Chain A
């Protein structure tokens, strides 16, 4: 099950967040900050799946933007990884060039 879907930039500012489970609002900001910290500390050679607390993070970087999805044990990590890319492609097709420029700005 997907627990949350985040788009966070390198500075830690949340650009989009969607939670599929109830999380207190102040905990959300903490969670987002920690998640981005984890993602930033990974190098290029490391895999895209991080074990964080009792769930997993699947992240993907597009320019200065990180898309992070939190999943539990039942999900296929690689399918979610593919889903993230699919999402970005959909945004790209739907909003055409605007998205890649905006993504670069984000």
Chain B
């Protein structure tokens, strides 16, 4: 059997493969050769074979049959074998494989080996893939090595200890005594890994954190030496001495100084020194400054230092290097909540970043811009953000649109501006607007009473040209349906009124209905709008009737149902039509909670669960408001969100087994959020109902007050009634709303 090829040969061979299939073939051939070689228990070439196997594993091919071979290599006496064996163990084995426990003894022996390089290998491997059992067994050895004077071993032992602590947190105390002298070392390797160990311990345990706070002066001293010391060829990176250690120490200082005044005080000077003395021409310096800024913002630093930090970030923003700008925007985002005013000073630079080419930077700038909008700068900021919305990538548009809506709602200087802004968003990014924005917008429009004419005119003009953007079309249809009369009468004050005829309005709504681009929901909106116009328009009622009846046979079930019911409205209930289709009143701030089938009444609704006690009637919770004409009218109201114009009508809440309970509603004169319900209970059976007690329950946000009833006996044969007054308070003016459409 010829000697197996070397790793380099293998790599060269694989590189010559031109296709994936060719490569796979070569690798399979080699794997077969390796497997037979393993079977022959060949000690000389085992190391070479495992090396090749590891390479193939890296390329993505399975290599599990090499695991035991790794163990054999580890057990060998030769260093070259051990080296490959441990590497293999790190790459192929982990705690998921049962085989790994066999390594424990080997590692234990190697940790006490005479050669430091072997000890180093063992520490590395344990620190890389040690399972919790292995860590528990070997923690003592690691701790011993942590106290050795050999710096090569000490640094590896520190990192191994980090891994042990991650796997078995209970062992943390064991390493505590060994950490005493760690920071006294001169060797940067040991310093670095010790700082990592201390960081890990402080992050995991608040006791350790308190214990290590006393190290702050020492850390400050080390950092100072690093900055002030002259050129040291061993540690120099582009003119700065060991920047990686500096960054680590800064991070540990951050953890130690958080929420602690004394420690923060002790580090103030050094942080100021680092911030001012570090060279910023190269990336290295900026990396250190970045870490310094993060530390300053996180500890309880004095205000002068904080301003210094934000100014550094501001300088970063002006830098040409993209990385630095990105990092600055990220940090500013983190600090904008706490240091709002300081960040505001850099607002113009941030807004300029919106125009950057880099996607990550744009996203950060957008988030930061939204955080910076306030009452004073809202007009300017909105202009920039709307411009951004125009030109940004599609993945941003939804977030940007939502952000604009939120900001506009909070800080709108005038209703007209608000509506203009919304219009602009709808027209530029209409298809990216989130679904829940549509009802919010409709509510906003309804509430700005004086702007109705202006709004409907603008919306009409917007969809004249293009009705493909669904949210825009939905809002526009709803508005045209509600305020179509204002549109045709040309009453607009804010703008030049346009001449629109009723037919033109119906034309556009019909095109929405017919268009392939319209979603089913949008068609629903359009049909209802057409229906509403039947009371607002005077000359085109017949045309409306025709349109509505056509859709009575539509394939879309929702559309069909609506059309059929509207048709019925024309035919049987024409007398109710004007009342039902009246203008919507001003709505209170809506949130959606509670059961669906509720009549919306002057912006407030309530639900009441009724229970009656006495024997004749069973328990019958009645939380559906039933109408004298149930079915069609209630469904109609469900679609249209309509109200009965004269407040809440009285209803029969319960009528079964001879017991009839009627509710009448009134709004309290003293407190408009209190509704007064008067219940009247009558009994049509032959027996008196005694011990009648009425109980009611309301949702958590409501308050209920039951006044005493007139009596507890309802006489038979409807000869008398019990009257009781209930007061329901809706403190947040939260209403259970139905869909607006």
Chain A window 1-41, contacts with chain B (Cβ cutoff 8 Å), 1 for yes, 0 for no: 00000000000001011000010011011000000000000
Interface contact A78-B60, CB-CB below 8 Å: no
Interface contact A45-B322, CB-CB below 8 Å: yes
With both beta carbons as reference points, the residue of chain B lying nearest to A45 in the complex is identified as: B357
Chain A window 51-82, contacts with chain B (Cβ cutoff 8 Å), 1 for yes, 0 for no: 10000000000000000000000001111011
CA distance A44 to B290 in the complex (A): 23
Q: Report A-chain residues with C-beta under 8 Å of the C-beta of B59.
A: 14
Interface contact B247-A79, CB-CB below 8 Å: yes
Q: Report A-chain residues with C-beta under 8 Å of the C-beta of B60.
A: 14, 25-26, 28-29
Chain A window 70-103, contacts with chain B (Cβ cutoff 8 Å), 1 for yes, 0 for no: 0000001111011100100000000000000000
Distance to closest chain A CB from B279 (angstroms): 13
Interface contact A77-B327, CB-CB below 8 Å: yes
Most B CB within 10 A of own CB, among A26, A50, A82? A82
CA distance A22 to B324 in the complex (A): 32
Interface contact B286-A78, CB-CB below 8 Å: yes
Interface contact A82-B62, CB-CB below 8 Å: no
Chain B window 46-62, contacts with chain A (Cβ cutoff 8 Å), 1 for yes, 0 for no: 00000000000111101
Distance to closest chain B CB from A38 (angstroms): 11
With both beta carbons as reference points, the residue of chain A lying nearest to B11 in the complex is identified as: A15
With both beta carbons as reference points, the residue of chain B lying nearest to A78 in the complex is identified as: B287
**Partner of B323 from A43, A51, A77, A86 at Cβ < 8 Å:** A77
With both beta carbons as reference points, the residue of chain A lying nearest to B247 in the complex is identified as: A79
Count residues of chain B with CB under 8 A from any CB of chain A. 30
- Residues of B237-260 contacting chain A, CB below 8 A: 237, 243-244, 247, 251
| Residue B591 interfacial (CB < 8 Å) | no
CA distance A16 to B59 in the complex (A): 9
CA distance A83 to B322 in the complex (A): 18
Distance to closest chain A CB from B130 (angstroms): 13
Q: Report A-chain residues with C-beta under 8 Å of the C-beta of B201.
A: none
With both beta carbons as reference points, the residue of chain B lying nearest to A43 in the complex is identified as: B357
Q: Report B-chain residues with C-beta under 8 Å of the C-beta of A78.
A: 283, 286-287, 290, 323-324, 327
Binds A, one of B358-366, B409-417, B420-428: B358-366
| Residue B141 interfacial (CB < 8 Å) | no
CA distance A45 to B237 in the complex (A): 25
CA distance A78 to B293 in the complex (A): 13
Known: A77-B323, A81-B323. A47 touches B243 (CB 8 A): no
CA distance A1 to B361 in the complex (A): 23
- Residues of B42-90 contacting chain A, CB below 8 A: 57-60, 62
CA distance A47 to B316 in the complex (A): 14
Q: Report B-chain residues with C-beta under 8 Å of the C-beta of A17.
A: 58
Distance to closest chain A CB from B594 (angstroms): 37
Known: A48-B323, A81-B283. A76 touches B359 (CB 8 A): no
| Residue B298 interfacial (CB < 8 Å) | no
Q: Report A-chain residues with C-beta under 8 Å of the C-beta of B325.
A: 47
Q: Report B-chain residues with C-beta under 8 Å of the C-beta of A45.
A: 322, 357-358
- Residues of B480-516 contacting chain A, CB below 8 A: none
Interface contact B247-A47, CB-CB below 8 Å: no
Interface contact A79-B323, CB-CB below 8 Å: no
CA distance A60 to B423 in the complex (A): 44
Interface contact A47-B323, CB-CB below 8 Å: yes
| Residue B339 interfacial (CB < 8 Å) | no
With both beta carbons as reference points, the residue of chain A lying nearest to B62 in the complex is identified as: A25
- Residues of B297-341 contacting chain A, CB below 8 A: 322-327
Known: A76-B291, A77-B323, A81-B323. A86 touches B359 (CB 8 A): no
Distance to closest chain A CB from B65 (angstroms): 14
Most A CB within 10 A of own CB, among B237, B287, B294? B287
Interface contact A82-B360, CB-CB below 8 Å: no
With both beta carbons as reference points, the residue of chain A lying nearest to B323 in the complex is identified as: A47
| Residue B30 interfacial (CB < 8 Å) | no
Q: Report A-chain residues with C-beta under 8 Å of the C-beta of B58.
A: 14, 16-17
| Residue B688 interfacial (CB < 8 Å) | no
Interface contact B247-A76, CB-CB below 8 Å: yes
Distance to closest chain B CB from A64 (angstroms): 13
Known: A76-B247, A79-B244. A49 touches B360 (CB 8 A): yes
Q: Report A-chain residues with C-beta under 8 Å of the C-beta of B290.
A: 76, 78
| Residue B284 interfacial (CB < 8 Å) | yes
Distance to closest chain B CB from A78 (angstroms): 4
Q: Report B-chain residues with C-beta under 8 Å of the C-beta of A16.
A: 58
CA distance A82 to B323 in the complex (A): 12
List the 8 closest A-B pairs by CB distance, nearest first. A78-B287, A47-B322, A46-B358, A29-B60, A47-B326, A79-B287, A79-B247, A47-B323
11 chain-A/chain-B pairs, Cβ below 8 angstroms:
A43-B357, A47-B322, A47-B325, A48-B323, A49-B327, A49-B360, A51-B360, A77-B323, A77-B326, A78-B323, A82-B243
- Given A46-B360, A82-B283, 18 new contacts (CB under 8 A): A14-B58, A16-B58, A22-B94, A25-B60, A26-B60, A46-B357, A46-B358, A47-B322, A47-B358, A47-B360, A48-B322, A49-B360, A76-B247, A76-B251, A76-B294, A78-B324, A79-B243, A82-B243
Chain B residues within 8 Å of A, Cβ to Cβ: 57-60, 62, 94, 96, 237, 243-244, 247, 251, 283-284, 286-287, 290-291, 294, 322-327, 357-361
